Amino acid sequence: MDWDEPISGSNQPMALGEVLDRLSLEELRSRIEALNNEISRVQAEIEKRQSHQAQVDQFFKN
């Protein structure tokens, strides 16, 4: 197996803590991109909830 060749059937969902030895370089790069996208999505949700909480706090403060 070459390091740049994806493993057949590797379109399965990723799991945190999974062994990475058998993944190709492209699969590792794709994994990083997917994880970065998920981090951005979670951060946006946190910001949304904090903004909402600040609005609620301000409403009940008055």
Predicted confidence at residue 11, as pLDDT, reads 63
Domains of the chain by residue range: 25-62
Q: Which two tokens stand for residue 3?
A: 């390091």
Predicted confidence at residue 33, as pLDDT, reads 97
pLDDT tens profile 5-53: 666 555 678 888 999 999 999 999 999 999 999 999 999 999 999 999 9
Do the beta carbons of residue 20 and residue 28 sit within 8 Å? yes
Judged by DSSP in three states, 19 sits in coil
Confidence of residue 62 (pLDDT cuts 50, 70, 90): confident
Predicted confidence at residue 27, as pLDDT, reads 95
pLDDT at 3 over 70: no
